[in-house]
Amino acid sequence: MKLTDYVAPEHVKIDLEGGNKEEIIEELVSLLVETSDVSDADVIYEAVMKREREGSTGLEKGVAIPHAKSDAVKGLSVVIGVSREGVDFEAQDGKPSHLFFLMVAPTSESGPHVQAIAKIVKMIKLDKFRKKLIEAKKPADVVDAIARVENGEGEEI
């Protein structure tokens, strides 16, 4: 499973405008609706917010992976957002989040969803990778950085 099988430049938004968790999730859900086969944006937003109420998906090192399961998608759907300023996402380390990987999978599917989260968690451990994404000038730069890490070029980013 490769994350790049699910993410193209149109799935990436640089310079997110949201100033809090709800606005960031709303912005990412809008991007998901624009770029993926989604039947109901409100259902997805509510599913992601329900998951957030169970426990924040803000990790450490400026990364958050908001996610949910919903039958409003036909298959694993992923979008990525970048906020250079950072947003309080109730992260584990108490610091602002800059990189957001929103993913939604159908309720009947768990494999790709779990694999994608595991892959992201592994990638974000690379300081150069996180820096490259935060400093990306265009969406293609984000996808390229992900592809390079997936192809084993992580340290040369």
Would you name the residues annotated as active-site residues?
67
Whether 98 and 86 have beta carbons less than 8 Å apart is answered as: yes
Gap between the Cα atoms of 79 and 102, Å rounded: 5
Parallel, antiparallel, or unpaired for β 97-105 and 77-87? antiparallel
Percent of the chain as helix, strand, coil, to the nearest 5: 45, 20, 35
Whether 98 and 14 have beta carbons less than 8 Å apart is answered as: no
